[in-house]
Structures are given as C-alpha cells and as structure tokens.
Amino acid sequence: MTAMLTADDRPEQALGGKCGRVVVGVDDTPGGLAALRWAVELARSADMPLVAVRVWALGLPRHGGLRRRGDGHGHVVFTFRGAEPRREAIQLTKKAFRAAVGGIPPDLDVTIETPEGNPGPALTQLVSSCGDVLVVGTASSHSMKRLLHGSVSAYCYSRLPGQVSVVR
C-alpha cells in the first residue's frame, strides 16, 4: 500500500525518529532523476520506506529571489514562509517521479517531505544514523552554477560518510 504523505500530514512522525529508510533528494535534473530511479530500486530491494525530499527556499531555483555566498560560513539563503512554495515543491516531486519511474510506485511506502532551507544541511539533518541511506544526484560538469552555489552531493557526502550514495 502506498502512503504518499507530507510532513504536514503526519507531524508526529519526524524524519529523524525512524530508522532504515532510503532518503532521496529530489530535483528534475538528469542526475536528480537518475538518483530517484536508483533510490526507488534500492528501497524495493532492501524493503525500506522511501522518503522523497524536495528542499525549497526563496534563493533556490524556481523559488525566486537571490542566493549568495556568505562570509565564509556557508551560503546565505533568503527565505520566506508560505504555502505556495511548498505546494510547488510537492508538484515538482510528483513530476520527477513521473519522469523517473512513471509515477509514485504503488509497491513502496513513500513519504514526500518539503523542508524549507538550504539543500545540503536540510538533507543531512533528515538522515538518522540508524540505517538510513541518503541518495543524491550530481552532474559531471563543473558549471558556473556549481562554482557559485557549491555542490549538494559533496556537502552531504562530507558530513555523512558511509551513508550517502551519489548518482550521476
């Protein structure tokens, strides 16, 4: 039975409190879609629940605003509260599932999470140390965008050694 819930639907089940999940960072880039496909197969083969995470913030692509490097302490992301960006993040996640695997898999327990913030820190905070695996996509290019904004996959990998699968 598929459970497609957001954090707002089941606030009592915080992500950090469950063990043995496949947590996947979702976007619609080629690397992101490859990561989603790989995460779905891993969740199936390991009989683990799948947590699809689309992080949003004002400074992130498709959410408007500006994003700049901080003063040596990481990125500065200007954020705001509101339901529209969260709804857009949920829609993007559903579109990514359709593009990657034809839709939300009916044979998996799937949760969609849409935290606000910077993707690297938000993803690493959602992964517990008790058997969770984080799957993120990456691009093989060294684009100007990556130079300006940094690499989410590198951030996650450096903070969760042994728990991160990076998919190209």
| pLDDT tens profile 45-90 | 999 999 999 998 765 555 443 444 455 555 555 555 567 888 889 9
Q: Is the pTM of this model over 0.85?
A: no
CA dist 98 → 92, 104, 105, 118, 155 (Å): 10, 7, 9, 25, 27
For 155, what's the count of Cα atoms within 13 Å in the CB-facing half-sphere? 18
The CA distance from 96 to 22, in Å, is: 16
What pLDDT, on the 0 to 100 scale, is given for residue 151? 85
Pick the CATH number of 20-167 from 3.40.50.620, 3.30.428.10, 3.40.190.10, 3.30.530.20: 3.40.50.620
Both tokens of 128, joined, read: 């517990």
C-beta of residue 112 within 8 angstroms of C-beta of residue 93: yes
SS3 assignment, position 147: helix
SS3 assignment, position 22: strand
Q: Give the residues of the chain that fall short of pLDDT 50.
A: 1-17, 63-69, 144-149
What pLDDT, on the 0 to 100 scale, is given for residue 13? 34
Closest CA to 49 of 20, 91, 78, 79: 20
